[in-house]
Structure 1
């Protein structure tokens, strides 16, 4: 099949393309800046076509979609005053182009939608749900994969866990952060994305998660154990969400708007409501990567002698974001982290007493 992968320079897109090639497909990979393609080892593969595409430019999207059998939509915003409007416009451009070009299938990587009233959803989850509906309304068969926390070096969720754990001497846990999560390794997500290409199904969504569920603080504990960090957890009941998001944005290198959006989602259980994705999308002999194994592989430093094409997708890759990676072992960062915790705690206490 001829496949368009949008967002090919991103964390998932850069890892998905090799899997599609291995499955025998040809790929058209879109980039807002094609020069970024040079960071990806597969950019000069004869089976890959690199194209420039601004998803907000309807003509560019139409050109990129022409002649394709299927499209992977791996683009979404995480912050900014108008990110939801841009998400809406981008999805509408893709939906219209795919329908006009006779594309057979759209595959969209979204996020878990918690079982609460829509008005209680965070802004970024609401936007992803709206994008899913826009794509489905195109008339093209649309398979949406709603993934939970993705484990792997370079993943936004993983890097927040890594950097907070490294840079804070203790872990502060508000009461509202005890919701359940269901992490899944990026290799399992990639396998499901490839399977979604050929699954015999009408438009629908799949919840995608790993075999383990746990409260978010337990996820942090497991990471600390695997990373050999001593990080006691302290319950601070009255820390408001916006304060925690702000502090996490200051402590980590991940863009603050992204951190704040993800922190907001921790108010609700982010777990699969159904588990049929494994039977429908994954090979019968597929073995999930366990959480501890995923953390170990994400933390492993690859040998410089290993060609990029042979690197473990769960581990670091050359195209991962510049803000990814650990750097929290120094005294200065521990002091900064402790100061942030104390400041946040005092602020929460003042808010309670006022």
Structure 2
């Protein structure tokens, strides 16, 4: 299958594209700055195309007549106006698609808690708005909703890792004591690839790793696997904006990104069901997903640099990852 990955310089794409190549797909990597693709070991194995999702002409030029599937991995968490920008970008893509030969669009979103729309965080509301906009396309549109992604280089994993390592005590606000269902980047990439070819109609799927865990317990598990002794201090009154700013300062993560990730923790971020396995990846039914403990262990394992990047564990560090 000939597939265009929009947002090819991001973390998920860095692991997804090798999976697509291994499965025999012909990949075109779409990015605003093509030189940023040079840092990935697979960059010479893909076609490259410049694409600016805020410019309809750019999108039109990027989707050549051979492209059958578009994988949309665009999220603007690193800017203050990300919600408006993401919505406009999605509208541009939908406007362009009728003039292409694209048959399917796969979008990676976030878990949407079962609460009133008005109570959603800005981050999750933005993801939902993009999903709703893309669903207006006449093509088959499959949205995959994921919570925390475990893997070295994942923004949410790196935030948890750096906060645990750099603070002498783990401070947990009461509003953060909710459940989360992480998924390893390896399982997530398999879900995306399955969504490209599954005989299903448009819709969304929660893609969870199968293990629901309290976020406070996840922090303890990370510390245990990493061999770090950390006590937790639970405080009743810490505003999200303050926590995000402190987290950004400590971890060097962009403040908007940190706030987007942290505010998602004020609700349970768990999959509503396991339909993604039975309907998208039936060949995986009965097989084990990567456990949270194993995923953390593999993410923290020092890579063997004598082994070619293509043969290394995708959960571990790879060339091109941002530290």
Give the TM interval when normalised to the shorter protein.
Answer: over 0.9
The 1-side partners of 2:147 and 2:161 are apart by: 17
The 2-side partners of 1:185 and 1:179 are apart by: 19
Q: Deviations over 1:17-46 (max 9, x none)?
A: 11111111101111111111211111112x
The match for 1:32 is 32
Q: Deviations over 1:291-332 (max 9, x none)?
A: 1111111111112211111121101111222xx2xxxxxxxx
Deviation of residue 58 (structure 1)?
A: 0.8
Deviation of residue 225 (structure 1)?
A: 0.2
- Give 1:113-132 correspondences, 5 Å limit: 113-132=112-131
CA contact (8 A) 1:167 1:251 kept: yes
Deviation of residue 161 (structure 1)?
A: 0.7
CA contact (8 A) 2:182 2:209 kept: yes
Cα distance 1:251–1:264, how it changes in 2: closer, same or farther (>3 A)? same
The 2-side partners of 1:76 and 1:153 are apart by: 19
The match for 2:94 is 95
Residue 206 of structure 2: SS of its match in structure 1?
A: strand
CA contact (8 A) 2:174 2:234 kept: yes
- Give 1:11-160 correspondences, 5 Å limit: 11-45=11-45, 48-67=46-65, 68-160=67-159
Q: Provide runs of 4+ in structure 1 moved above 3 Å.
A: none
CA contact (8 A) 1:124 1:261 kept: yes
Residue 141 of structure 2: SS of its match in structure 1?
A: strand
The 2-side partners of 1:293 and 1:274 are apart by: 22
Q: Deviations over 1:250-285 (max 9, x none)?
A: 111221110011111111010011211111222336
Deviation of residue 286 (structure 1)?
A: 4.1
CA contact (8 A) 1:65 1:97 kept: no
The match for 1:334 is none
CA contact (8 A) 2:123 2:260 kept: yes
Root-mean-square deviation (Å): 1.2
Unaligned 5+ segments in structure 2 are: none
Q: Deviations over 1:96-138 (max 9, x none)?
A: 2223203100000000011110101111111111111111101
The 2-side partners of 1:228 and 1:65 are apart by: 47
The 2-side partners of 1:255 and 1:142 are apart by: 31
- Give 1:165-184 correspondences, 5 Å limit: 165-184=164-183
The 2-side partners of 1:290 and 1:18 are apart by: 22
Which structure: larger Rg? 1
The match for 2:319 is 318
The match for 1:335 is none
Unaligned 5+ segments in structure 1 are: 325-354
Paired residue total:
320
The 1-side partners of 2:185 and 2:252 are apart by: 21
Residue 47 of structure 2: SS of its match in structure 1?
A: strand
Residue 51 of structure 1: SS of its match in structure 2?
A: strand
CA contact (8 A) 1:199 1:281 kept: yes
The 1-side partners of 2:111 and 2:187 are apart by: 15
The 1-side partners of 2:4 and 2:239 are apart by: 42
Cα distance 1:9–1:80, how it changes in 2: closer, same or farther (>3 A)? closer
Residue 41 of structure 1: SS of its match in structure 2?
A: coil
Residue 266 of structure 2: SS of its match in structure 1?
A: coil
The match for 1:346 is none
What TM-score do the two structures reach when normalised by structure 1? 0.88
CA contact (8 A) 1:10 1:320 kept: no
